[in-house]
Structure 1
Amino acid sequence: MESMGRKRAYNWYISLVAASCMVLYGYDASVYNALQNSDHWKAYFNHLDTEMVGAVNTAYTVGAIVSGFFFGGPVADYFGRRVGMAAGCIFVIMATFMQAFAPQGNIGCFIAGRVFIGIGQGLALTAGPIYIGELAPPHIRGKIMTFWQMFYSVGSFIAYWVSYACGQHLDSLGEWDWKMVVIFQLLMPILILAQVFFIPETPRWYIKHGAKFDKARNSLRRVRETEQDVEDELLAIREAVEFENEAISGSYAALWKDRSVRKRMYLALIINAGQQITGQGTLNTYSSIVYKKIFTSSSQINLINALNATFGILFTLSCAPIVDRFGRKPLLIVGAIGMAICMVIVAAVETETPTLPNKAKSEPVGISIVFLLFLFAFFYKPSWGATVWIWTSEVFSMNVRAQAVGMASQTQNVANAIVQQFFPTFLNNCGFYAFYMFAGINVLLALFVWWFIPETKKVALEEIDVLFGGSNHVEKGGDLLGVEDAHHTTVGADRAGSIDNKAAADHVQEVKV
């Protein structure tokens, strides 16, 4: 078991600052769900029909898709990963005020706020995982990225417990029962802004933009244990960037022209879209509507949502000790199969049991369904929740990483927008038979991973291209630099940039700038 030294602890700290961007996503996805359980919010906006309920949610995804596809990558690439995270936080702060203080009945202003939050999260959710992936050592990269998804659950945790607390004081709060829930969204972006410019920029960005080797070296010194570790990794990054600058493009066109990158892009788009059509995205946005078909008490529904978010944190943390031990692929397969089984049983229990005169289910049936949906989250959180982000953040080379991660992650919102727009009407017309659809999707996702997704655990970022039939950027860059033995970051190494040949280590002294 590795010791937690001062620099390793600092590596965890800066990674958790970046991972806090995911709290923005988790809070926003959950806050709209919570608002749908507030009678004051419904009355404030004149009781929206199911199509408009879906449209309000879709507005967020439109902003996130546009931002993630077209702005997240360029901002993170040209201005830095830290600027990308900070810009996203600023948009979220502005949007929070737009939503909380929208004029009564003016759903357009509320929707505009949702679009702005989507834009902000498109920026932050592109830069955050790239930052973590580029500074975390390979052998703990999976563990650290687990906290990226875990912080989504933290966002849900805050939103649902604030909603539950406000729901206990409806008479005294009035319409502030939902405004308080919205305003609490300011908490995390303010905390991120207070820290983000005090953490180091990634060495890969410094080298890629202006060959700032001294700044890159100083960044690495803050998170690597020895000077040898620093110089080894600096040389590996330089070799990879040298090859990428000489041989391949860093534009969006490279995502489709390079066969190896194109293959990764297809795979990343599919599993990121798959993450949102497992059923979890729908449950997180519309669980209040789902539970209203089982329970009649709004307070009870708020409590169930809050408990679900609480357990979500624990379920996600279970990924940390196993993702780098068993790998990404087994987690995705087991998770998909488990989710499919849960969805089949949930649909069967609800549709095959009698409904009481008050249009609710009996208490035992209700408890069974809640347990099964919690079990669904148990399978989802460490697998398609956390592992999809881990895999996506580590499979792309430096020249296209920002653009690719931004586009792939926002495919989640493309899928989300499609499903979330029709799901309220689908659920209203078909009831829990809709969950059979999610069961089938999860089976297909398990088969897809089995056949097409390669394992990436503990592979150095600069050498991951070889898994997809591409060139080894370190070896090719080493050839350009004249390094005698460029292949010094071995696949599966216990630390980034481990040197097999001392000549390569010595050579770094010649390329210092």
Structure 2
Amino acid sequence: MPTGKLVYNWYISLVAASCMVLYGYDASVFNAVQGSKHWVAYFNKPNTQTIGAINTSYTVGAVVAGFFFGGPIADRFGRRVGMASGCALVIIATFLQTFSPRGNIACFIAGRVVIGLGQGLALTAGPIYIGELAPSEIRGTIMSFWQMFYSVGSFIAYWVNYACSKNIPKLGEWDWRMVVIFQLLVPIIILAQLWFIPETPRWYIQHGNRIEDARKSLYQVRDSDQEVEDEILAIREAVEFEAEAISSGYSALWKDKSVRKRMYLCLIINAGQQVTGQGTLNSYSTIVYKKVFKSASTIALINALNATFGILFTLNATWTVDRFGRKFLLITGAIGMAICMIIVASVETQTPSFDGAKSKPVAISIVFLLFLFAFFYKPSWGATVWIYTSEVFSMNVRAQAVGMCSQTQNVANSIVQQFFPTFLNNEGFYAFYMFAGINFLLAAFVWFLLPETKQVALEEIDTLFGGSNHVEKGAEIVGAEDPHHAKLEDAHHEIVEEKSVPMTTTSRV
């Protein structure tokens, strides 16, 4: 039977994970509105290069925010402020897009840039928040909901779009505006809850050594005094060691050999996530399915069903990621996706088309294969890449590193999204063979180079990458006899001392 504090831990984690709904909705909403004749006419029938530019504009905003602002804001003002500022920008951008003047594609693109900025902030702070408050034994399970909420965002966007596509005569131009403006829903819900959840204890200790604030935060999510004090001790030991032995900020990402190694690995797997083919399918499934189906409402229904199944597929990560490990999921997922891409390309290119569409059995088989592709992607390269990235970096560089690595997804995605519409138009489904080859290479990369991080405490994860054990090294600095267990009577005495004498960064336990 779960305890009340474990349930509360899930609640605050899911509030943070809701930031991913913003990403899932926006990544799907433009794909959805491309099927609206009113949207196409409203913006004077944009060509494939303009369509690619609209998608790229979002990634430019996300990359700028993720690389240069997400980490510093989450570090300086807290993880909650990072999420809140991102949500606020998404709300502003939604109005910009919904009420763009007729024919003014520049205003619509500006809205996409601002949404990218907002998501760059929120998607940096969210996974850090979850990783720093979730217990290590269920950290992977909780973080798997991060990717599931991406599917929730897609689910909402595509079903709203499907409902609008069935009521076009009543809605008129609001058939696409309604899809865009629904993006207001989730950031408003997140903002309403953020100020009622605790800040992370690691942030409190890292900023002013606010031990008592960190305790109050942990007491809300841990079951015993001993758990709280052990975690406080581990965090302080890690912070003390990092303050003395390792520089912080962006420079530390490249100066420290073990951190640099993690950066290279996470930059590659985050870029890999988007070149598996899923990022392209999520942005361009409408134009992909136009090569198979004639009916716009049929395509809208398939997109909505794909988003629905995406939620179910991602749930597989909740029971597999901490049981079988990160490497197993990444390798299995990459191989499964590669096989699906080979088969779907073969089926489409080697069967005849009739009046611009495939026969019903062929069309159904293509949809099934692309759904099977999502089955392999969602719990592996969808969820597990986020889990891995959020947990492998030490505290002094976590915000900056997560921000930069996660936005590598958008760097890779912007490159592919810009050329893919033209590539698909010229080469058809032969383009999918490229994704098959990439997925096989990703499986080999994970097999040979990625260490397993399953159920390793955040403060001790550095040892997997050739770094020092920050807890044990920090224990030497603070003078703790046992680096893993705090004495409760010492902790109580420490509270009394804190009230009378401000603690320095090298105070002893």
**Pairwise TM-score range, normalised by the shorter structure:** over 0.9
Is 1:87 the counterpart of 2:88? The answer is no
What are the residue-to-residue correspondences of 1:4-23 with 2, within 5 Å?
4-23=2-21
Is 1:279 the counterpart of 2:298? The answer is no
1:493 is matched with: none
2:252 is matched with: 254
2:147 is matched with: 149
Change (3 A) 1:94 1:460: same
1:456 is matched with: 453
Number of positions where the alignment pairs a residue of Structure 1 with one of Structure 2: 496
Report how far residue 505 of structure 1 moved.
5.7
Report how far residue 509 of structure 1 moved.
4.5
Distance 1:321 1:511 in 2: 40
Is 1:397 the counterpart of 2:397? The answer is no
2:373 is matched with: 376
Is 1:158 the counterpart of 2:170? The answer is no
What letter matches 1:382 in structure 2?
P
Measured against aligned partners, the alpha-carbon deviations of 1:323-344 in whole angstroms (never above 9, x if no partner) come to 0000000000000000000000
Measured against aligned partners, the alpha-carbon deviations of 1:203-252 in whole angstroms (never above 9, x if no partner) come to 00000001111110000000000111111101110110011111111110
What are the residue-to-residue correspondences of 1:173-322 with 2, within 5 Å?
173-322=171-320
Is 1:408 the counterpart of 2:405? The answer is yes
2:469 is matched with: 472
Report how far residue 65 of structure 1 moved.
0.2
Distance 1:128 1:511 in 2: 31
Report how far residue 164 of structure 1 moved.
0.1
Question: Contact 2:225/2:488 (CA < 8 Å) preserved in 1?
Answer: no
Distance 1:508 1:479 in 2: 18
Report how far residue 485 of structure 1 moved.
2.2
Question: Contact 1:44/1:105 (CA < 8 Å) preserved in 2?
Answer: yes
Is 1:440 the counterpart of 2:437? The answer is yes
Change (3 A) 1:439 1:221: same
Distance 1:268 1:209 in 2: 26
Give the secondary-structure state (helix, strand or coil) at the position aligned to 2:284: helix
What letter matches 1:371 in structure 2?
F
Unaligned runs of 5+ in 1: 489-498
Distance 2:62 2:454 in 1: 29
Distance 2:169 2:371 in 1: 31
Give the secondary-structure state (helix, strand or coil) at the position aligned to 2:455: coil
Give the secondary-structure state (helix, strand or coil) at the position aligned to 2:358: coil
Cα RMSD after superposing both structures: 0.8
Distance 1:286 1:300 in 2: 15
What letter matches 2:412 in structure 1?
A
Is 1:359 the counterpart of 2:359? The answer is no
Question: Contact 2:237/2:472 (CA < 8 Å) preserved in 1?
Answer: yes
What letter matches 1:155 in structure 2?
G
Report how far residue 508 of structure 1 moved.
3.9
Distance 1:157 1:227 in 2: 41
Change (3 A) 1:474 1:510: farther
Measured against aligned partners, the alpha-carbon deviations of 1:386-408 in whole angstroms (never above 9, x if no partner) come to 00000000000000000000000
Distance 2:338 2:70 in 1: 33
Give the secondary-structure state (helix, strand or coil) at the position aligned to 1:139: coil
Question: Contact 1:264/1:395 (CA < 8 Å) preserved in 2?
Answer: yes
Report how far residue 453 of structure 1 moved.
0.5
Question: Contact 1:235/1:508 (CA < 8 Å) preserved in 2?
Answer: no
2:507 is matched with: none
Distance 1:272 1:10 in 2: 30
Question: Contact 1:232/1:505 (CA < 8 Å) preserved in 2?
Answer: no
Distance 1:132 1:300 in 2: 38
Question: Contact 1:95/1:117 (CA < 8 Å) preserved in 2?
Answer: yes
Distance 1:457 1:199 in 2: 27
Give the secondary-structure state (helix, strand or coil) at the position aligned to 2:357: coil
Distance 1:453 1:215 in 2: 36
1:485 is matched with: 482
Which of these residues, 92, 95, 116, is aligned with residue 114 of structure 2? 116
What letter matches 1:402 in structure 2?
A
What letter matches 2:195 in structure 1?
F
Report how far residue 379 of structure 1 moved.
0.1
Distance 1:19 1:270 in 2: 23
2:101 is matched with: 103
Distance 1:174 1:123 in 2: 35
After the TM superposition, which of the residue ranges 241-250 and 113-122 deviates more from structure 2? 241-250
2:506 is matched with: none
Question: Contact 1:143/1:324 (CA < 8 Å) preserved in 2?
Answer: yes
Report how far residue 89 of structure 1 moved.
0.2
Measured against aligned partners, the alpha-carbon deviations of 1:130-173 in whole angstroms (never above 9, x if no partner) come to 00000000000000001000000000000000000000010110
Give the secondary-structure state (helix, strand or coil) at the position aligned to 1:195: helix
Give the secondary-structure state (helix, strand or coil) at the position aligned to 1:105: coil
Distance 2:285 2:335 in 1: 22
Report how far residue 484 of structure 1 moved.
1.4
What are the residue-to-residue correspondences of 1:30-49 with 2, within 5 Å?
30-49=28-47
Moved over 3 A (4+): 504-512
Using the size of structure 2 for normalisation, the TM-score is: 0.97
Question: Contact 2:52/2:419 (CA < 8 Å) preserved in 1?
Answer: yes
Report how far residue 507 of structure 1 moved.
4.7
Report how far residue 510 of structure 1 moved.
5.4
Change (3 A) 1:469 1:510: farther
What letter matches 2:93 in structure 1?
A
Unaligned runs of 5+ in 2: 499-509
Using the size of structure 1 for normalisation, the TM-score is: 0.96
Distance 2:400 2:492 in 1: 32
Question: Contact 1:483/1:507 (CA < 8 Å) preserved in 2?
Answer: no
